[in-house]
């Protein structure tokens, strides 16, 4: 039976994407694109609201509109939207919403004729990411992942006249395609061993088998293929160039939505499919190495950066490393920590990128030294940079701190104290480069004191980012509870 609730958010996204394209055909080329933007925002908001009906969590404010006895599923159980998927979907959809908002400001500074195409491709990409989180089967998972990444290649190279953007798209395409091939190769071995593509079935069959070199090879290829997507070192080479060259909204999108989708794939594949005694030590060991490498390399390479987008790229590599420590610890505690941290990361990172795009629209520069005196030009941006960046560094009382507390706590509970120690020590290193930005923004007098203006929507979104980032540090309880129930849905 096909329950439409299982892919309701994706329907909204794809539907509004098509609507945007059609409306663009009908509209005069000279018209303002306000209607298109409106359709896109409404589509994403509807997708977000539909999560409520899909969940039927009992706490739905609209009553029992869609309360399900069981988890909604479709296509013979290939798509199953459990609480875990809902949590991931929420983050991805919020990230898409933020990205749209950032892009409006970005395209004001860099006008383009292809606003409709941009919006549509972004929505398709989000639909892929969203579908990925509920995929229960490796082909579906792969198709969803490719929908996400192929759209991302387009988006990264969207500024046609800009060399950096073209370079970013090309690099991303070549390395991304290579990693997809690796991933698919690994999947094919997995299928060859088990004769099924359903992740939970794979888990059941593998549980009875002993380890073999080919199986290990398959695991290594899957890890490598997916590690590319979430830019874990040493598969992170593409990240700085792509993040720097891509349009700022896309950098934001890649750093949050794409990463979240990658972790969703990781969680499903490894903690359901490959969580068997024969394989677990192998991939946990692999992840330990990748996590530590990402934390060390990401943070160290971020230190000398002068371009804020490039710096955020290295920062996002390090962040992926932190999240991986919670992932490899696994279990209820570890996955809760991963989910909570992704939630926190969403607001902190999006706040920073929104600020970056607003500043860029005014100054036309992404260099850190051009942030000098931001406190005077726009106090709100100064506060956003301070709060969100320090949250990424994990400094109390901001949300990143409680996030790291749970991540490293989960790692320590499984005996990976040394990883936690490395993570904490390099968090202090990261503080140095995050503070460099905050220092530029808050300490000196501005060279050019003209104020940086923004509209009420951007203002309120920035304030929301700051408020969430501060509140979740002090009072993480409600989000933690949601994350806990999401993580436990994986183990039922």
Partner 1 sequence: MFPVLATILLPFAVSFALFHSVVQGPNILPVLSTLIVAPIIAAFLVMIAPEKYARWISLATASFALGLGVKLFLNYQMGISGFQFVEEIPWLKNLGISYILGVDGMSTLMVLLVTCVYFAGALISWNISLRRKEYFVLFSLLVGGVAGAYESLDLFFFFLFYEFAVLPMYLLVGIWGTGRKEYAAMKLTVYLLAGSAFMLVGFLAIYFTSNIHTFDIRALSDLSATGLSVSFQNTWFPLLFVGFGVISALFPFHTWSPDGYGSAPTAASMLHAGVLKSLGGYSIIRVALPLMPDGAKHWLPYLAILALINMLYAAIVALKQTDFKYVIAYSSVSHCGTILFGICTLEAAGLNGAVIQTFSHGIVAAMTFALVGTVYGKAHTRELSKLGGLTACMPVLGALFVAAAMANVGLPGLSGFVGEFLVFLGSYQSGFHGGFTIFQALFPMGVLAIVLTAIYYLRLVQMVFFGPVKDPHLKEEVKDGSFIEILPIAFLLIVSLMVGLYPKPFVDMSNLSIAPLIDNIGGFK
The least CB distance from residue 266 to partner 1, in Å, is 23
CB closer to partner 1 out of 243 and 416: 416
Q: Helices marked H in 269-330 — which ranges?
A: 280-302, 308-329
The least CB distance from residue 431 to partner 1, in Å, is 6
d(CA 130, CA 92): 7
Largest CA distance in the chain: 69
Among 390, 441, 452, 466, binds partner 1 (CB under 8 A): 390
Query: Between vectors from CA 176 to CA 291 and to CA 124, what angle results, nearest 5°?
Result: 105
What Cα–Cα distance (Å) separates residue 450 from each residue in 359, 377, 399? 12, 6, 32
Q: Are 200 and 269 in contact (CB under 8 A)?
A: no
Complete DSSP assignment for 135-170: B-BHHHHHHHHHHHHHHHHHHHT--TT-HHHHHHHH
Which residues share a beta bridge with 73? 80
CB closer to partner 1 out of 293 and 441: 441
Helix (H, G, I), strand (E, B) or coil at 307: strand
Would you report the helix, strand and coil content of the chain in percent, each value rounded to 5?
75, 0, 20
* Residue 395 is a binding residue for partner 1 (CB under 8 A): yes
CB closer to partner 1 out of 202 and 480: 480
CB closer to partner 1 out of 107 and 434: 434
Q: Are 399 and 472 in contact (CB under 8 A)?
A: yes
Interacting span for partner 1 (CB under 8 A) from 22-30, 49-57, 228-236, 410-418: 410-418
CB closer to partner 1 out of 12 and 408: 408
Interacting residues with partner 1 between 448 and 487 (CB under 8 A): 473-477, 480, 484
Query: What residues contact residue 208 under an 8 Å CB cut-off, 6+ apart?
Result: none
Interacting residues with partner 1 between 414 and 443 (CB under 8 A): 417, 420-421, 424-425, 427-428, 431-432, 435, 439, 442-443
The least CB distance from residue 395 to partner 1, in Å, is 6
CB closer to partner 1 out of 175 and 424: 424
Interacting residues with partner 1 between 337 and 376 (CB under 8 A): 375
Count, residues near partner 1 per rule CB under 8 A = 32
The least CB distance from residue 370 to partner 1, in Å, is 18
Per CB under 8 A, residues contacting partner 1 are 375, 390, 395-397, 401, 405-406, 408-409, 412-413, 417, 420-421, 424-425, 427-428, 431-432, 435, 439, 442-443, 473-477, 480, 484
């Amino acid at each position: 039976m096909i329950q439409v609730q299982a892919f309701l958010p994706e329907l909204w996204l794809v539907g509004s994407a098509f609507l945007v394209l059609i409306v663009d055909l009908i509209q005069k080329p000279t018209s303002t694109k306000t209607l298109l933007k409106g359709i896109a925002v409404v589509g994403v908001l509807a997708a977000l609201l539909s999560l409520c009906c899909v969940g039927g969590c009992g706490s739905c404010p609209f009553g029992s509109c869609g309360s399900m006895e069981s988890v909604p599923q479709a296509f013979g159980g290939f798509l199953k939207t459990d609480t875990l998927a809902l949590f991931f979907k929420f983050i991805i959809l919020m990230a898409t919403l933020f990205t749209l908002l950032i892009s409006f400001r970005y395209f004001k500074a860099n006008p383009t004729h292809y606003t409709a195409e941009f919006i549509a491709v972004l929505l398709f990409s989000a639909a892929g990411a969203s579908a990925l989180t509920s995929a229960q089967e490796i082909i579906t998972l792969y198709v969803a992942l490719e929908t996400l990444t192929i759209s991302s290649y387009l988006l990264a190279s969207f500024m046609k006249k800009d060399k950096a953007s073209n370079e970013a798209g090309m690099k991303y395409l070549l390395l991304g395609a290579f990693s997809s091939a690796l991933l698919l190769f690994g999947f094919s071995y997995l299928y060859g061993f088990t004769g099924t593509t359903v992740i939970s079935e794979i888990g059941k069959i593998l549980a009875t088998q002993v380890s073999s070199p080919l199986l290990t090879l398959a695991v290594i290829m899957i890890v490598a293929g997916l590690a590319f997507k979430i830019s874990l070192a040493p598969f992170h080479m593409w990240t700085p160039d792509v993040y720097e060259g891509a349009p700022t909204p896309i950098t934001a999108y890649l750093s949050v939505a794409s990463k979240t989708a990658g972790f969703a794939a990781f969680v499903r594949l490894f903690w359901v499919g490959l969580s068997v005694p024969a394989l677990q030590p192998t991939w946990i060991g692999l992840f330990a190495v990748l996590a530590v490498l990402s934390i060390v390399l990401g943070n160290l390479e971020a230190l000398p950066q002068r371009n804020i987008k490039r710096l955020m790229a290295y920062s996002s590599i390090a962040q992926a490393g932190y999240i991986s420590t919670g992932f490899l610890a696994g279990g209820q505690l570890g996955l809760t920590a991963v989910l909570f941290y992704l939630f926190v990361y969403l607001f902190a990172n999006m706040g920073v990128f929104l600020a970056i795009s607003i500043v860029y629209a005014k100054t036309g520069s992404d260099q850190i030294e051009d942030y000098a005196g931001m406190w005077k030009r726009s106090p709100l941006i100064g506060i956003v940079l301070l709060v969100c960046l320090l949250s990424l560094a994990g400094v109390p009382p901001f949300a990143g701190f409680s996030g790291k507390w749970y991540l490293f706590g989960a790692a320590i509970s499984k005996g990976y104290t040394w990883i936690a120690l490395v993570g904490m020590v390099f968090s202090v290193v990261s503080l140095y480069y995050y503070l460099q930005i905050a220092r530029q923004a808050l300490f000196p007098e501005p060279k050019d004191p003209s104020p940086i203006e923004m509209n009420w929507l951007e203002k309120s979104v920035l304030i929301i980012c700051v408020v969430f980032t501060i509140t979740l540090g002090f009072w993480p309880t409600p989000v933690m509870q949601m994350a806990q129930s999401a993580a436990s849905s994986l183990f039922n």
